[in-house]
């Protein structure tokens, strides 16, 4: 099983409760395979191929990236009025017979709910990314006495003739 199908199965069963009306496993897996570059851009990584070796942290961030994208897309669709179907009878929320009242789904409110879910997901995503980038960061260069200097003879690093202590140089 590839990483993409494993992530897709996790989202399909845990987040969508195996409801194929929301999305299928193949659709979710396809999204993962086409958006690996987005993960690379966010994490400053270079994952490639059909089965990249993603760690647990990367998989969690990739799942949250999918959910953020999904909720944003659902909010757009709700505002367009095509959340799950376009039949005119599917948007009836309640019917009462006493005073002949019919209540319809307020698509604006549905859009607001999805927009809130998208905002929450994006907040979680930003937190995961910043934690990942700060804990996985490595120094790009050493910038002190401990770094030594380039000697010019054969590309070796030489140590400095003096040492540093908290009060200054010796």
**Predicted confidence (pLDDT) per residue in 90-129, tens digit:** 565 666 677 776 666 666 777 788 889 899 999 999 998 9
Instruction: Quote the DSSP letter at residue 152.
Output: S
Q: Count CA atoms within 13 Å of residue 37 on its CB side.
A: 1
What pLDDT does 17 receive?
Answer: 92
Residue 12, Cβ neighbours under 10 Å: how many?
22
pTM score? 0.67
**Predicted confidence (pLDDT) per residue in 48-89, tens digit:** 988 899 999 999 999 999 999 999 998 888 777 755 555 555
What pLDDT does 54 receive?
Answer: 92
What pLDDT does 78 receive?
Answer: 79
């Amino acid at each position: 099983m590839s990483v993409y199908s494993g992530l897709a199965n996790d989202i399909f069963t845990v987040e969508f409760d195996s409801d194929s009306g929301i999305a299928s496993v193949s659709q979710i897996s396809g999204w993962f395979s086409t958006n690996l570059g987005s993960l690379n851009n966010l994490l400053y990584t270079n994952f490639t191929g059909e089965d990249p070796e993603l760690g647990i942290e990367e998989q969690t961030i990739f799942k949250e990236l999918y959910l953020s994208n999904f909720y944003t897309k659902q909010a757009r669709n709700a505002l367009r009025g095509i959340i799950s179907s376009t039949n005119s009878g599917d948007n009836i929320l309640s019917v009462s017979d006493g005073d002949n009242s019919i209540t319809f789904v307020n698509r604006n409110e549905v859009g607001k709910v999805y927009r809130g879910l998208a905002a929450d997901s994006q907040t979680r995503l930003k937190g995961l990314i910043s934690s990942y980038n700060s804990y996985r960061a490595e120094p790009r260069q050493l910038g002190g006495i401990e770094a030594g200097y380039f000697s010019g003879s054969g590309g070796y690093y030489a140590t400095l003739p003096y040492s540093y202590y908290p009060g200054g140089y010796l």
